[in-house]
Structure 1
Amino acid sequence: MSAPLAIWTDFGGVLTPPVDVTFNDFCDRVGVPLYALKEAMRLVGEAHGTDSMGVIDIPLLDEASWSEELETELGRTFGLVADLENFGDRWFDGRPANADWIRHLAAFRDRGAFVGLLSNLPPSWERHRRYMVGDSHFDDIVCSYAVGSRKPEPEIFRIAALRAGRAPHECVLVDDLEKNCAGAVAAGWQAVHFRSAEQAARQIANLMDAAAPVAAPLAAAGI
């Protein structure tokens, strides 16, 4: 009999509103154009040999140092004077949890699935995550800063599968980023590209149905 699937959900953009929505709100709040902030994040990441968020997901810099480098890059590249102090506090200010997806995760657990959180998350943002979605919603939590690897790298998927006690093909990533879904599939996982709670829940339910063991006919069982 196959073990129930391990459903690993992303945090930002899945258990929260879409990241693009938060970016727009944040940029309005700090008075920085969206294009400028994203480019500054890209340039700072590139300077450290990674992408926009890789700098603080592992982390290579703490949040305060990262914010200072972003301010410097905004001034150098765009001539903008910006105050990005307490970046995380302002990023999460007024940002609600996705209550619909939380309910679906609870339903998956009720059906016997392992439900975990698999997130690229800076350490200073962990308290915001816990405030929005408590640890009790998950059977395990794997965050990039704690394991030294981040999606879509294969190592974080290997770690998560081991923590769930499942083979790779018995693990499913639910993520709003296609590159992370592709990384999961490359690691032997299944993946659901999250666009809405209802869409993702339907796909997960179908995967769970397909993975469920079929009872042997009574005659074959000698009954």
Structure 2
Amino acid sequence: MSGDLAIWTDFGGVITAPVDVTFHDFSTRTGVPTHALKEAMRLVGEAHGTDSMGVLDIPLLDEAAWAHEVEEELARTFGLAADLRDFGDRWFEGRRADQAWLRRLAGLRSRGVFVGMLSNLPPSWERHRRYMADDSCFDDIVCSYAVGHRKPEPEIFEIAAERCGHDPAACVLVDDLEKNCAGAVAAGWQAVHFRDAEQAATEIEELIRARTAASASTG
């Protein structure tokens, strides 16, 4: 296998458009300012002892209950009357997969590289994920809601490494969030901070070359 690496890609913000773009589009459709929505989500997460999406990613609440709490926080903190029913459907409306990145991943798999998806994902968003990138795109999929841990917690990286059968040092996380990349490195992984498909693919090729060269020198 090329470099004997396991590449684990994030979903939201990597396979999809950047999260800030989605926030902007969602806010435009709903009339809820982005800053207010982000703050209400943060406060709801804080009330449950986690960050803004931690409530959904494990999940601690189902989507409908979480959306209702965010509505209440928007009213309490900002005086905004918001209707966030069917949040996931509206969040993914018009959202498209990064086809350039999916092609890069397919190219890696065609060369024998293990490619998995490692995502903090609410269970109610699985059907949207499958529509954008179905299971056949990956050798394995590890989602927070299914394993009870989320990035950047070390446990989710341990689970993913065990699932793919690679040592942590041979696992690479591709993620748009620096805190998740830092969590991967703390777990003994390598990480690529995703900005666009070409940049991430270039960095992965450099890691493959380095791994191949190291294997040859010890062989």
- Smaller-chain TM-score bracket: over 0.9
Percent of counterpart pairs with the same letter? 74
Q: Answer yes or no: is the 8 Å Cα contact 2:3–2:209 preserved in 1.
A: no
Paired position in structure 2 for 1:17: 17
Structure 2: runs of 5 or more not aligned:
none
Paired position in structure 1 for 2:76: 76
Secondary structure of 1:174's counterpart equals: strand
Paired position in structure 2 for 1:190: 190
Secondary structure of 2:4's counterpart equals: coil
Paired position in structure 2 for 1:90: 90
Paired position in structure 1 for 2:116: 116
Query: TM-score w.r.t. structure 1 length?
Result: 0.95
Query: AA paired with 1:87?
Result: F
Higher helix share: 2
Structure 1: runs of 5 or more not aligned:
218-223
Paired position in structure 2 for 1:99: 99
The alpha carbon displacement at 1:113 in A equals: 1.0
Query: AA paired with 1:31?
Result: G
Q: Answer yes or no: is the 8 Å Cα contact 2:14–2:175 preserved in 1.
A: yes
The alpha carbon displacement at 1:214 in A equals: 2.5
The alpha carbon displacement at 1:4 in A equals: 1.2
**Larger Rg: 1 or 2?**
1
Secondary structure of 1:214's counterpart equals: helix
Q: How many residues align?
A: 217
Moved >3 Å (runs of 4+)? none
Q: Answer yes or no: is the 8 Å Cα contact 1:152–1:182 preserved in 2.
A: yes
CA offsets 1:103-139 (integer angstroms, 9 cap, x no match): 0001111222100000000000000000000100100
- Bigger Cα displacement from structure 2, 112-121 vs 3-12: 3-12
Query: AA paired with 1:145?
Result: Y
Paired position in structure 2 for 1:220: none
Q: Answer yes or no: is the 8 Å Cα contact 1:3–1:166 preserved in 2.
A: no
CA offsets 1:26-83 (integer angstroms, 9 cap, x no match): 0111110111000000000000000000000000000000000000000011100000
Paired position in structure 1 for 2:176: 176
RMSD (Å), alpha carbons: 1.6
Secondary structure of 1:185's counterpart equals: helix
Residues 215 and 107 (structure 1), Cα distance of their counterparts in 2 relative to 1, 3 Å cut: farther
